[in-house]
Structure formats: C-alpha cells, structure tokens
Structure 1
Amino acid sequence: MSSASPAHSQPPSSEAPAGASAGGKPTRRQRKLRVGDVNVVDRSMMRRAISGTIVGNTMEWYDVGVYGYLAVTMGKVFLPTATSSVQILFSLGVFAATYVARPLGGIVFGRIGDRIGRQKVLATTLILMASSTLLIGVLPDYALAGALAPVLLVILKLAQGFSTGGEYAGATTFISEYSPDRKRGFFASFLDTGSYIGFALGAGVVSALQLTVGQEGLEAWAWRVPFLIAGPIGAVAIYFRLKIEESPAFQATQDAQEHASAEIAEAQGRPRNIFALIALHWRSLLILIALVAASNSVGYALTSYMPTYLTDALGYDPIHGTLLTIPVLFLLAALLPLTGKLSDRFGRRPVMWTGAISVIVLSIPAFLLIGADSIGTTLLGLALVAVMTALWVSNQAASLPALFPTSSRYGGMGLGYNIAIAVFGGTTPLMIQGLLLLTGSNLAPAWFLMGTSVLGAIGVFFMKESSRRPMPGSLPSVETEEEARELVATQDDNPLLDLSTMPLDLLDGAHEERIAADRARREAAGTAAKR
C-alpha cells in the first residue's frame, strides 16, 4: 500500500521536476510509469496500519477530553483559594499551554520522521504521551504541595504537548500514505473518527464519576481516576502501534534516493533544515495554517470548550454539561467517514467550501438554539455544530499531508499543523471564554468561529484539489493490480497524474528489486498473521 498525493497540491517551485536538478540542469530523461512502480494496497496491512494509528489518536483525544471535561474541577483542585473565574481561566490556560509546546515537538519529531521513518517516531510519541497522562493522575494537589502543584501540572501538560506535536502530524502522514488514492478521504477520515471517540470516552468516564461520587468526591480524589486509566489504554495503543510497518510511500522514496546519483538525490531530497523547509514550502504552510485554524476552532469549541460553556455561561450543572455533549460526539464520529467519502467523489475543495459557508451562516442560529431554555433545543444546536465540524474536519487527514512531497511531508505537517494548533486550537477555549467575559454576550463563540472560517475559506481558495490524485513525491497507490495496469495504460491522457512530481527518475533496477522484495515480505507477514 502506499500513498500518493495530489500531484497538483504543491507549487512547482517546491520540488524539482523529474529529470532536472535544482539549478535546472538536465540530468536524465524522465521515463514512463510502469506497473511495478504502482503501489497495490495490501488490505490486511492497511487495516492494521489504520487501526494502529486510530488507537493512538484515540488515546491522545481521550486525554484532551478528560481535561476538557474536568476543566472546572482542575481549577478548584490546583487553585482552591482563587475565584471561580480565575480558576476557569487557569484551567483553560494550562490547556492552552499544552499547545505552546506542540510546534517544538512537531519540528523535532517531524524532522526525525522524514529521516528514519514514520512508524518509529509514532511509537515514541505515543509512549511519551501516555506516560505524561498517567503521571498527572499521581500529582500532589494544592493541599499537599501548595504552589508547586500547579507548576508540576503545567510541566506535565507541556511534556504532553511536546509528544503530541509529533503524533497527529505523523498519524495523518502515515494513514494518508497507506490509503489508495481514490479512497484516501474515506480511509483517512477514520483517524479523526478515532479522535472524537476518544473524546467521548473521556467524557463518559468523567460523567460516570460525577454520577457515582458527585462533585465533592471528584474534587477530593476521583479526578485522578481518568488519568490513571490512561495507563492501560496507552499500553494497548502502544501494542497496536508497534505491530504496524513503515508506510510504502516512505519506503519507496527512501529507497529511490538511496540508489540515485548524488546530484539527483540532492535535488529531490528533503530540506536540510527548518529554514530550507520554510523557504521551499512557505505557500503550503500558510494554506495549512489557514485550514487548521478553521477546522480546529470549530472542533475544539464543540469538544474542549462546550462543557465549560454549558456550565459557566448557560447555568447547566456539570453532569448535564458533560452528558449533553456525549451523543453529539458520537454523531460527529459517525458523520466523518460519510463526509470523507463525499470528498473522494466531489473533491476536497467543494466539501471544505460547504463547511466554511455553513459555519459563517449557521453559527449564530446554532448558538441561539444552544442557549434556549430547553435540553432539546440545546441538543439540536450542538448537533448543528457537529455537522459543521464534520464538513471541516473530515478532510484534514487527507488534504493536509497532500500539501507536501513525501521527503518533507512529516516535517511540513509537524511545523505548520502545530503552529496553527498552538494559535487557534488549544487556545480556542481560552480565547472564546475571554471574548465572552469581555463582551458579556453568549453569542461570542459564534462570532469567533465565523471569523476563523473566513480565514479557512481563504486557505481553500488557494489550495489545489488533491482528491483521487497521487500525493506529490509519491508513487500512485491503488486497490488492485487491474487498476494499476489501467493507470499505466492511460497515463498519457490522465489529468489526475503528474509524473513530474514522482521520483521516477530516481528509480533503477535496484529499487525495482527492493519493491519486489518488500511485496514478498509483506505477503509473508500477512500469511503469518492469519495463522
């Protein structure tokens, strides 16, 4: 299996054309695509890769969900002498601090992931993330450690953020490279489905504790339980993550560069450092930041901020503030594969345009429904926000990695995605709460989401369509041998293929032998797994 990325999603300057060096000097004549170049998806390996990636992402968002739903409680535990407004701002500030560390983690792990592979880095980030979450569960509270307690909480949340910085960027890169080109939107959307299931699980655990031990018990000791549960969940996630293999797209690119002449390999290889990455891919980075700003603002508003909004702004008790969002999260998780499939059929851009317009037009009606004096209207408003979120979020895992060539994909995702998340994702609850306190209007969240969706619409305008195309720097990925032969036979007249973005000029006999060896190894692994 392999990935491919929309050949048209990358500016021409970001990767030297096949058969030419960076300075424009001819090196060798570009050859045609051959059947042996096309990655045919091994379904059993793809299932393992997708499940292993989803489990890790579920673990990440379980923690986000737990902390989001315990925001009011954590403020009381770690700053018991402060006013309620200060406690909430502290909790949301700690949540935002996690995202300050994410760009650094994205840079470090992205660079390593483009050098040694996606799978090894993803296993490492998951171990660090699970360990940090578990340690929060054994922290001393303010009564035991005084001012040191909130400091330790911030340190562990920063460690979480650092590891998470490499998690989503790597997971989207990995799963998009494993998916067939024509169904990348559908398969990649399951990554975010796992995210919201993890969030719902976190909400469910917190709700169960609220119902059984009450708010007093939660503040006294039970707040630790959800974080301690992360231990066994993390162990299961790590087991699945270690069972998956490196993505074929990365293997193919690494092999091609390994056997290429030094001149060609340097022309089409990975950027030497972060400054070279920015210089080569600045346009893609700006597009990514705009798209992530829109999609994650609405996503975090629905997930991390909504329990606080329902409790603090609308007067719901903490239990109802949590329970009301759980069915909406499962609705959102169910919608993501459907909207992902729509993007495979109609294109990523049309689905994203629909998401941008729906947020701009429907945010105020949605929050008016949420603020009405009825649980039914509140659920209806939340469901409307979930639909808007699905239209934005379902495309992320398929569209964002396609902005970068294979040799720079993890690094580009790690840098751009985490900068956007630090500014517009984790800080969304804090910014909305501050805006609400400043204006005194319960419609403040709607205005914030409308503004970020305008920014996202600008990103969609400049983004090239990537649906049903190989990703830049990757070879085509298909489901069957028959599809591979058809692709090769029609390559001269296929508008979805751009051979200049593929590493065909780096391929030689040694690489073709490697492809055959890799296929034989994967077949043997699949046979062994069935026994």
Structure 2
Amino acid sequence: MSSESPTTVEEVPPNILHRAIGASAIGNAVEWFDYGVYAYMTTHIAKSLFPEGDDAVFFTLIGFAVSFLIRPIGGLFWGPLGDKIGRKRVLAMTIILMAGSTLCVGLIPSYSTIGWFAPVMLYLLRMIQGFSAGGEYGGAATFMAEYAPDKKRGFYGSFLEVGTLAGFTLGNGIALILVHTLNDSQLADWGWRIPFMVAAPLGLIGMYLRSKMEDTPVFRELEAKNETEEMVKGVFKDLITKYTRPILTLFGLVIALNVVNYTLLSYTPTYLQGTIDMSEDDALLVPFFGQIAMLLTLPFFGALSDRIGRRPMWLFSCAALIIAIIPMYKLMGTNLTGAIIAFAVIGLLYCPQLATISATFPAMFPTIVRFAGVAIGYNVATSVFGGSAPSINEWLIDKTGDNLWPAYYMVAACIIGIVAAYFLIETKGHSLRGTEVPGTPEAAEEQRQLAAEAAR
C-alpha cells in the first residue's frame, strides 16, 4: 500500500466508489444467499440429512441457529484483525471461507448413506459459515461506510442491503424453480443441493472484486500516520469501558433488526408450510414478491436518511412495526393474497431500519475500533436473538398452539429497538475520519484540527 496520505472520502472518484459498493455488496449477497437457500430448502434438507420424524425440521432449524452461535467468535477474531491489517484483506478471506463452506453443505452425503455423520457435518460447516460471517458483515459495512461520501452515506450504504435482499431473492428464485420442476423425492435426494453449488462462483467473483480494491481512504489515512499497529491493543477493554454507550445501543438496535429479519425473511416459508398449511409453492411465492418490493425501496430509504437522519428512521420503523405486526400476521393466516400483502407491509415498514444499518452502525465507533466494534457488537446480539429466531418461534408455537408467537416476538424486539434508538447519536453528514466517536463534540473538534492541518 502507498505510504502517502490518501485523499478524503469526498474526493474518491465515482468509478472507484461504485466498485467499492459492488465489492462490499457481493459478499453480503453470498452470505444471505446461503441463509436464504437454507431457509427455503429446510424441509428437504431435513429429509436428506436427518432421520425421519417430527423433529427433523426442528433440528434442521437448529443447524440454522448453530452458525450464529459461532459468529461472536468470528467477530472477536476478524474485527481487531480488520482494524490492524485493513478491511480489504479480511474481506477477501471471509468471502472465500463462506462460499467454500456453503458449497460443501451441498456435498454432504445423506443420512441414509453415512448416518449421524450427516447432521454432524452440517453443523460443523454451519459453524465455519458463522465464523466467516462474523467478519463479513462488520467488515463490509465498515468498508462501504468509509468509502461513501459523508452526505450520501445512507444512500450508498443502502446498496449493501440491496446485496442482502438480492442474495435472498436469488436463493428464493432458484428454490421456486426447483420446486416447480422436481418432485419431492428428487428434491430430498439431490435437488436441494443445487443452490448451494451456486455459492462457489459467486464467492470467486466477490474475491476478485475485493482484490482489485485499495483499502478505504479513512483506514489508509491512519495507516499513513503509523497508528494501525496500536489499534488492537486493549481493543476489548476499550469497547467495554470507553465505548459502553455505542455497544449497548448497537445491541438494542440489532435485537430489533435481526429478530424481525430472521423471523420474516428466513422463517416465513417454514411457518407458512408447517403452521398455516400452505403449499410449498405458495409459501415460497410470499417472500419472493415482498423481497423484490423491499429491494426496490431500499435506496429511497437510504437517501431519505441522508436528509432527515438515521435516528428518526429507526424510531419510525420500530413504532410502525409494533402497531402493524400482529394485524398483519392475522392477515397472513387467511389466504395467499393476504399472506403476500402482510409480508410486503411488514417488509416495507422494516426497510427504514435495513436501509440505514450500513450508515448507522459503523458511524457509532471511531476508526481505531470501528471494524471490531461493529463485528463484535453486531454478532453477539445476532447470535443470541437473530439466528435463534426461527427455532424459538417454532418451539413456542409447538408448545402453546398460538400461531401468532412470531408476531409477539417481533413486537417485543421492536420495543427494545425504540429504547436503543432513543440513545442513538445522530451522525447524518458527519465525517468518519479520526479517532473520536462521530457525532460527539470531541469528534467535531478533531475534524476542525484535521481541516486546519489540511489547509496548511
């Protein structure tokens, strides 16, 4: 890397900025393509890799949750490393690890062939995926945020979540094609494996794009001052003692974000089939249309956050969801049309959160601990409340007989989100340069000093 001081974020040429967006988004797409495919193929994976029985789907959903239990360990490993050696290098490693383990899931022999080794291999590979994902999201969000212009961070950051939904929708589309063209026996035998094979070329494309990028201007600025070697020293203690408010705020926001995310996007097909007795074709159509609507509106919400701020977007989204979720889940249980409308309404009310997380979360920490703060804080909350959402909802419905438990769970999470958003420091338009928390008086003073240095 060059030792010269980089240009400011605002001076990044548009073609480089657009390449940075693509390099960030494709990794997110690979990650969420895997989660989407796993969610949409749950019943067929259960038939192939687990013994027959009523609990097969539940244990397959446990495999979904297992990957999240390991994500904090991934965050603890990749986060400080990304603050020391750079965002680009870590992201190149995480995308290959993620794509490779996803490919291997599709190669696991069936339970009838190797017995209990099949679910054991599935859980191990899901743990590898979780380990890589522990660095992927925090790194991609940091990479995107540090490249984006300060006044358009919300707009450009929203494309990271466009990648998320593109991956989900691609997985959904492939699942729909397979369900329409193959019978149940073919799907359980080999059809469910096909989508997992797609991850390999996606991962190679992502690694190529990331290898061609320079690291972010914000990171290179500190690297040029020889400050990166000190970044990982005492990082865990600093996150607990110096950055307690942003860590706790991040926890609360992520609880709201990911309980809604995984309950709505990942669990809905299983919920509609197992609880509402909807056909598999219809159960896959419901999120397909809703995700396309969400995908198209994300840049609009991202741009809106650049005008009115991130905090109002979060407060509105959480409050609106609290009001709408239970009525929409009642509508979801009526028929296919009602389910499509309900999913779309919840999804669109959720979009103000989803569209702004890439601009919100990295801006909660200074550059010296940004990757670590986002990776660790995001993944700890996600592992406890996000990945467990499908299996918890399945268990609650089974134990109580109340089909509205997913709605209750999301409402409770959004209440926590409102409390967290109240304490969120507004960073709309603030620079991410420097060593202070953006949006604070200390950061404003540091920006004045940096501007004075640049003027000399």
TM-score by length of 2: 0.93
Alpha-carbon shift at residue 81 of structure 1 (Å) = 2.4
**Is the alpha carbon distance of 1:393 and 1:376 closer, same or farther for their aligned partners in structure 2, counting shifts above 3 Å?**
same
Cα offset for 1:278?
A: 2.0
Counterpart in the other structure of 1:61:
32
1:137-167 Cα shifts (integer Å, max 9, x gaps): 1111101110111001100000010001100
The code of the aligned residue for 2:267 comes to Y
Higher mean alpha-carbon deviation, 230-239 vs 287-296, is at 230-239
Instruction: Please name the residue that 1:339 is paired with.
Output: 301
Tell me the residue number matched to 1:237: 206
Structure having greater relative contact order (Cα 8 Å, sep ≥ 6): 1
2:145 counterpart of 1:183: no
Deviates more, 1:434-443 or 1:159-168: 434-443
How does 1:11-410 map onto structure 2 within 5 Å? Answer: 39-83=10-54, 86-258=55-227, 271-372=233-334, 374-410=335-371
Structure 1: stretches of 5+ with no match in the other structure? 1-34, 260-264, 478-493, 513-531
Q: Tell me, in whole angstroms, the C-alpha distance in 2 between the residues paired with 1:389 and 1:273.
A: 32
CA RMSD of aligned residues (A): 2.5
Identical positions, percent: 36
The AA in structure 2 aligned to 1:405 is: P
Which AA in structure 2 matches 1:123?
A: A
| Partner Cα distance (1:503, 1:39) in 2 | 16
1:429 is matched with which residue? 390
Post-superposition offset of 1:376: 1.5
Counterparts in 2 of 1:38 and 1:59: CA distance versus 1, 3 Å: closer
Q: Is the 2:218–2:433 Cα contact (8 Å) retained in structure 1?
A: no
Q: C-alpha distance in 2, partners of 1:370/1:506? A: 54
Question: 2: distance between equivalents of 1:37 and 1:220?
Answer: 54
Q: Which amino acid aligns with 2:65?
A: A
Instruction: State the Cα deviation string for residues 418-477 of structure 1 (Å, max 9, x = none).
Output: 0011011111111111222222111111110000001111110111111111126279x9
Equivalence for 2:379: 418
Which range moves more in the overlay, 124-133 or 314-323?
314-323
In the other structure, the counterpart of 1:29 is none
Q: 1:38 to 1:375 in 2, by over 3 A?
A: closer
**Aligned residue for 2:444?**
499
Check the 8 A contact 1:100/1:422 in 2, yes or no: yes
Q: Is the contact made by 1:470 and 1:497 (CA closer than 8 Å) also made in structure 2?
A: no
C-alpha deviation, 1:392, in angstroms: 1.7
CA contact (8 A) 2:276 2:333 kept: yes
Question: Are the counterparts in 2 of residues 253 and 503 from structure 1 also a CA contact under 8 Å?
Answer: no
2-side partners of 1:36 and 1:98: how far apart? 39
Letter in 2 for 1:162: F
Shift of 1:62: 0.6
Answer yes or no: is the 8 Å Cα contact 2:8–2:217 preserved in 1. no
Residues 80, 232 of structure 2: 8 Å contact kept:
no
Q: Counterparts of 1:299 and 1:197 in 2: how far apart (Å)?
A: 14
Structure 2 unaligned blocks of 5 or more: 1-5
Matched AA of 2:289: P
Contact 1:304–1:429 (CA under 8 A) maintained in structure 2: yes
How many pairs are equivalent?
A: 450
Q: Distance in 2 between matches of 1:360 and 1:452?
A: 9
Structure 2 residue matching 1:464: 3-state secondary structure: coil
**Which residue in 2 is equivalent to 1:21?**
none
Structure 1 CA distance, aligned partners of 2:448 and 2:76?
25
CA deviations 1:266-298 (Å, max 9, x no partner) are: 7xx554242333222122111101001101111
Query: How far apart, in 2, do the equivalents of 1:503 and 1:442 lie?
Result: 56
Q: Shift of the alpha carbon at 1:257?
A: 4.0
Q: Is the 8 A contact 1:256 1:506 kept in 2?
A: no
> Which letter does structure 2 place at the counterpart of 1:401?
P
Q: Is the 8 A contact 1:256 1:503 kept in 2?
A: no
Give 1:463's aligned amino acid: L
Q: Are the structure 2 counterparts of residues 450 and 250 from structure 1 closer, same or farther at C-alpha, using a change threshold of 3 Å?
A: same
| Contact 1:474–1:503 (CA under 8 A) maintained in structure 2 | no
Cα distance in 2 for residues equivalent to 1:209 and 1:503: 58
Q: What displacement does 1:348 show?
A: 0.6
Contact 2:317–2:350, Cα closer than 8 Å, also in 1: yes
C-alpha separation in 1, matches of 2:388 and 2:80: 25
Q: Deviations over 1:354-379 (max 9, x none)?
A: 1011111000111111111x221111
CA distance in 2, matches of 1:382, 1:321: 11
Q: Given that residues 9 and 147 in structure 2 are in contact (C-alpha distance below 8 angstroms), is that contact kept between their aligned partners in structure 1?
A: no
CA distance in 2, matches of 1:122, 1:38: 20
Kindly provide the CA deviation profile for residues 499-521 of structure 1, in whole angstroms up to 9, marking residues without a partner as x.
Answer: 33449479979x99xxxxxxxxx
Amino acid at match of 2:309: G
1:355/1:203 CA distance change after superposition, 3 Å:
same
| SS of equivalent to 2:225 | helix
